[in-house]
């Protein structure tokens, strides 16, 4: 059988600061992340068994089913995942608290008959997950951020940009991603600006009007998460996509 190519949505999660905790603690926090993700998928009416799942040691990577709308990887999945991590941290000791980075992307991937998946979209996903803006977001504040996520420009345009219910543009902040040869615009979701309906937009109910897209907030801006005291920086710079991945 020959390999086939399919367009898929991708989600990767990584536990920040997992090194140096020892094998027992690492296994504990890995279990916590898997359980939190499985629970969050369940609340979002998704089944982890329908996804291609890869354990990455201190995180995981999900390949969504071919027919799954990309927006389903954002709302309510991300807020639910963040809630479960926050609940765990509320009663966990310092050695088993979690700060999780998440990256979301989509593109055409290669699926081999033996179940192996590969392709340029996975490279872009890894660069997003390792990006400085996302790392700063998860390490901000005294105890760090339970969950911060980053979307590729392509994924943002195909979900948030389409105005799907529950996805509001002002819940995301533009950021520059520059990791090795990859340089692109991406969009951060951060605590205090949840992926969910925003009220007080000034539009009349049922008017059919779409709220205006905010200008990208990239000029050395400090984004402050309301109510949590979390502050992190988003850097300024022109973005150029020099990568052969779609999106």
Cis before 76 (ω within 30):
yes
Compute the Cα dihedral for 27, 29, 31, 33 and give only its sign. Answer: negative
CA distances from 113 to 2, 116, 117 (A): 7, 7, 9
Amino acid 181: pLDDT:
85
pLDDT tens, position by position, 79-134: 999 999 999 999 999 889 999 999 999 999 999 999 899 999 999 999 999 999 99
What structural domains does the chain harbor? 4-196+215-234 (3.30.70.1230)
Q: Rounded distance, CA 33 to CA 118, Å?
A: 24
User: And the tokens for 205?
Assistant: 């109910």
DSSP assignment of 163-228 equals: T-TT--GGGEEEEEEEETTEEEEEEEE-TTS-SS------PPTT--PPPPPPPP--SSEEEEETTT
**Structure pTM?**
0.77
């Amino acid at each position: 059988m020959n390999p086939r190519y399919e367009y898929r949505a991708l989600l990767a999660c990584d536990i920040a600061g997992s090194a140096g905790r020892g094998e027992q603690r690492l296994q504990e926090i890995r279990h916590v992340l898997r359980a939190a993700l499985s629970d969050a998928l369940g609340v979002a009416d998704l089944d982890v068994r329908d996804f291609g799942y890869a354990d990455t040691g201190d995180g995981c990577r999900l390949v969504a089913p071919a027919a799954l709308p990309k927006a389903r990887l954002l709302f309510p999945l991300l807020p639910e995942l963040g809630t479960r991590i926050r609940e765990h941290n509320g009663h966990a000791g310092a050695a088993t608290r979690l700060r999780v980075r998440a990256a979301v992307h989509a593109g055409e991937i290669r699926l081999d008959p033996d179940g192996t998946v590969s392709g340029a979209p996975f490279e872009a996903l890894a660069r997003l997950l390792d990006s400085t803006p996302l790392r700063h977001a998860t390490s901000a504040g005294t105890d760090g951020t339970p969950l911060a996520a980053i979307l590729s420009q392509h994924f943002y345009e195909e979900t948030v940009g389409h105005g799907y219910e529950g996805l509001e543009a002002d819940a995301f902040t533009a950021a520059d991603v520059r990791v090795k040869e990859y340089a692109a615009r991406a969009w951060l979701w951060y605590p205090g600006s949840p992926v969910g309906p925003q009220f007080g937009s000034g539009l009349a109910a049922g008017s059919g009007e779409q709220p205006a897209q905010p200008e990208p907030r990239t000029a050395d801006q400090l984004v402050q998460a309301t109510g949590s005291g979390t502050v992190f920086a988003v850097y300024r710079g022109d973005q150029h996509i020099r990568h052969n991945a779609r999106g």
